[in-house]
A = this chain, B = another copy of it.
Amino acid sequence: MRQLCKGNVAVIKGAILAGCRAYYGYPITPASEIAEAAALYIPQVGGTFLQAESEVAAINMVYGAAAAGVRVMTASSGPGLSLMQEGISYIAGAELPCVIVDVVRGGPGLGNIAPEQSDYFAMVKGGGHGNYRNIVVAPASVQEMADLTMLAFELADKYRNPAIVLTDGFVGQMQEPLNLEYREVVAPEKPWSVKGTPETRANLVTSIYLETDALEEHGRAMEAKYIRCRHEEIRYELYRTEDADLLLVGFGIVSRVLRSAVESLRRDGVKAGLFRPITLWPYPSKVLAEVASRVQKILVVELSNGQMLEDVRLAVEGKVPVEFYGRVGGNVPSVEELHHQVMERVGVLV
């Protein structure tokens, strides 16, 4: 079915198609339409929507529902995600699947409600305490808001780990055509879950391992699945990179501006290409290194002070110069602005 849909609403439509039947959250601009759509649609399919007392409460309800084997999600923006960091660490440590949407706004602190990509570090690198990783996907369109939310549910269950949909107010608020195919969701069996039934009575969901050797073994097992995830779940998009001298790197809304910049630059003789990571963790480091080996310069563009930049530099390992251009505070660079930035830096490439 083809429809005109807002990004934040597409998240919930995708979630329902993915079999999500529980949503616990607390509203915050610019993520509130996700809660609103969840409140409207999830009860219609027999699921539960609940506005919790706070983000701390919400993420712990997600923890509980995930332990019971339900496909469950929450959504918020930066400040709310920060409040959820303890819960996310607990969910990861207990090896439970859930989906969390971060519609990034301007920060730090209260900041403003305009779009940034400045929660990259908080979602992709750090966040909560201890050795764990979030799976992170970054939609660049309303269609992907639905599609990558569905993917997030699949990856979360496959790896029993939190999966983050990292997006921003632009993609969340824009309206675009959305194609959704109704499909039979076969909810995965979760024999490890605790459902209050006799069959699951012996199951234990926990992140506590008092003995050091037991916790080390648990950590090793988690690490092993993260290594497997790095091998199997890389998603990215290449655009006109075959003959490129200049590689533009950006994700989410930025990648759409960069795509136009590629066209614009090529019209002026600069052989530009675009590398768009779709999974931010695991990061497509290997393919980026391979593409990078064929270009003369890389320009990373982010709505931040340079966060994904570290992952690009880790992938490229100094083999090609990596430059950075960022806007913050809710400002998004225009095609002209990026064209100009490139021409200033890489004029010699022409």
A260 to chain B, nearest CB (A): 21
Binds B, one of A147-155, A178-186, A206-214, A249-257: A206-214
Q: Which of the listed residues A214, A310, A328 has the most CB atoms from chain B within 10 Å of its own CB?
A: A328
Do B83 and A78 touch (CB < 8 A)?
no
Known contacts A39-B196, A130-B118; A216/B331 CB under 8 A: yes
The residue from B56, B111, B127, B314 contacting A83, defined by CB atoms under 8 A apart: B56
Any chain B CB within 8 A of the CB of A14?
no
Contacts of A91 in B (CB 8 A): 109
Interface mask (A307-320 → B, CB under 8 Å = 1, otherwise 0): 10010011001110
B122 & A123 in contact (Cβ 8 Å cutoff): no
Question: Any chain B CB within 8 A of the CB of A110?
Answer: yes
A86 interface residue per 8 A CB criterion: yes
Confirm or deny: A218 has a beta carbon within 8 angstroms of a beta carbon on chain B. yes
Is the C-beta of A93 less than 8 angstroms from some C-beta in chain B?
yes
The residues of B that contact A110 with a CB separation of less than 8 Å are 90, 93, 206-208
> Of residues 113 to 171 in A, which have CB atoms within 8 Å of B's CB atoms?
114, 116, 118-119, 121-132
Closest CB in chain B relative to A255 CB, distance in Å: 20
State the Cβ distance, A20 to closest chain B Cβ, in Å: 16
A241 at the interface (CB under 8 A from B): no
Interface residues of A in 82-120 (CB under 8 A from B): 82-83, 85-86, 88-94, 104, 106-112, 114, 116, 118-119
Docked complex: A309-343 residues within 8 A CB-CB of B: 310, 313-314, 317-319, 327-331
* Copies held by the complex: 4
Are B112 and A129 touching (Cβ within 8 A)?
Answer: no
Q: Does A64 contact B (CB under 8 A)?
A: yes
| Chain A positions 183 through 220: 1 when the CB is less than 8 Å from some CB of chain B, otherwise 0 | 00000000000001000000000111111111111111
Contacts of A216 in B (CB 8 A): 327-331
Chain B nearest CB, measured from A69 CB (Å): 13
Q: With the chains together, A104 CA to B305 CA distance in Å?
A: 28
- Residues of chain B with a CB closer than 8 A to A109's CB: 89-94, 130, 206-208
Known: A223-B305, A327-B216. Is A119-B108 also a contact (CB below 8 A)? Answer: no
Known: A53-B54, A93-B111, A112-B210. A106 touches B196 (CB 8 A): no
A122 pairs with B131, CB closer than 8 A: no
- Is A51 located at the chain interface by the 8 A CB criterion? yes
Q: Is the CB of A128 within 8 A of B122?
A: yes
Would you list the 9 A-B pairs with minimal beta carbon distance, nearest first?
A107-B130, A109-B207, A93-B109, A126-B126, A78-B129, A108-B130, A216-B329, A317-B318, A215-B329
Q: What are 7 A-B pairs with beta-carbon distances under 8 A?
A: A53-B60, A78-B128, A82-B88, A94-B109, A111-B130, A112-B211, A119-B130
User: Hey, which bits of chain A sit against chain B, CB under 8 A?
Assistant: 39-40, 46, 48, 50-54, 56-57, 60-61, 64, 77-79, 81-83, 85-86, 88-94, 104, 106-112, 114, 116, 118-119, 121-132, 196, 206-220, 223, 304-305, 307, 310, 313-314, 317-319, 327-331
